[in-house]
Amino acid sequence: MDMNAQERPPAVIVGVDGRPAAHAALLWATEVAARRGERLRIVHGLETPMVTGTYSGTERHQADERAREAGRRLLDESVEHARALRPELEVATVLASEGAPEVLLDEARHGDLIVVGSRGLGAIRAIMLGSVSVRTSAHAPCPVIVVPETATQHRGRIVVGVDGSESSRRALRFALRHALLVDASVEVVNSWEVPLPQDSESQATDARSLHEEVFDRQSEEIVAGVLAEVIDDETEDLDISAVRMQSDPVKALLDAGREAELIVVGSRGRGGVRGLVMGSTSQEVLRQARVPVAVLPPHSEETGQGP
């Protein structure tokens, strides 16, 4: 391992496990690390066998050695892939005895990016996100980017959802800083759903129109307020646009981010069972998106020099 992790400069940390989803994450992380001008840290966690009672000490030691050797080969192959794409990139590797979420969290520092792959589609994908990606994003000290296996490389536009909450301001700060580093534009998305009025049918059209005006005005104020609060001297010259629409928030973000290079969502920092602290919008965007999604955990600090 290179210099003490506490003292090292910001890095893009990617977990690999030999699966196609993790390989997609490696390719994406390699490109982004190069564009950000940061080191790539490729990590592999050796899973501890769930059942060890049937093994003798010697057999268990041999199994551990085989796993460790396979892990080293995987890391060496991953480095070759990264350097084939970006020969100039500085690459470090980490082989650890912990499982995947633990080793990523152990390696991560404020200012880093964690990149992981998502596996499968539909319910299976949701389960995998719940067991690895969402767990990591819930506790990480930095943004976590989940890369779908089928992600297509788009460049130039970052989509971020804002709703006036602290979590969405955190997401916007990261989106602006990341756009600055990778030379991209930012599209701010705010959406709302107008509740059906309780009036009689004859009044329903007028009442709904009034509701729409109220929500549209509130949306405009939210977007303007968040941008005014978050934009600073470094990010004020970025190409920033805003999209406000009457729509379900998940659909709005997925539609806006269909050909974006990254969708950014906040994590609200609450929620109980299984340690899932993300709101339903963030989880659904993660489950359905076909482009990489960045989740901003509650205690993340986007970069050491961020806004």
Nearby residues of 177 by Cβ (< 8 Å), 6 or more positions away: 234, 235, 302, 303, 306, 307
Residue 27's region, left for phi above 0, alpha for psi from -120 to 50, else beta, is alpha
Residue 4 falls inside a structural domain: no
Residue 1 falls inside a structural domain: no
Residue 96 falls inside a structural domain: yes
Q: What is the mean pLDDT of residues 84-112?
A: 89
pLDDT digits (tens, 9 = 90+) for 1-12: 444 445 789 999
d(CA 284, CA 32): 24
From 133, 142, 147, 16, select the one nearest 73 (Cα to Cα): 16
pLDDT digits (tens, 9 = 90+) for 5-36: 457 899 999 999 888 888 999 999 999 999 99
Adjacent-strand bridge partners of 192: 246
C-alpha pair distances (Å), 34 with each of 79, 87, 246: 14, 10, 38
Residue 202 falls inside a structural domain: yes
pLDDT of the residue at 71: 92
The secondary element (H helix, E strand) that includes residue 226 is: helix 201-230
pLDDT of the residue at 3: 46
Average pLDDT in the chain: 80
The residue with greater pLDDT, 250 or 151, is: 250
Residue 111 has pLDDT above 50, yes or no: yes
Confidence of residue 119 (pLDDT cuts 50, 70, 90): low
Residue 156 falls inside a structural domain: yes
pLDDT of the residue at 165: 84
Q: What is the CATH number of the domain that holds 173?
A: 3.40.50.12370
Q: Say if CB 191 and CB 180 are below 8 A apart.
A: no
Domain count, the chain: 1
pLDDT of the residue at 129: 46
- Structural domain for 247, as ranges: 11-296
Task: Give the 3-state secondary structure of residue 296.
Answer: strand
- In the DSSP assignment, the letter for residue 273 is G
Confidence of residue 271 (pLDDT cuts 50, 70, 90): very low
The residue with greater pLDDT, 232 or 64, is: 232
Residue 280 falls inside a structural domain: yes
Residue 307 falls inside a structural domain: no
pLDDT of the residue at 239: 95
pLDDT digits (tens, 9 = 90+) for 137-177: 667 788 989 898 887 778 899 999 988 888 889 999 999 99
Tokens describing residue 298: 């509650």
Residue 123 has pLDDT above 50, yes or no: no
Residue 183 has pLDDT above 70, yes or no: yes
Residue 93 falls inside a structural domain: yes
pLDDT of the residue at 64: 81
Residue 212 has pLDDT above 90, yes or no: no
**Main-chain dihedrals φ then ψ at residue 187, nearest 5 degrees:** -115, 120
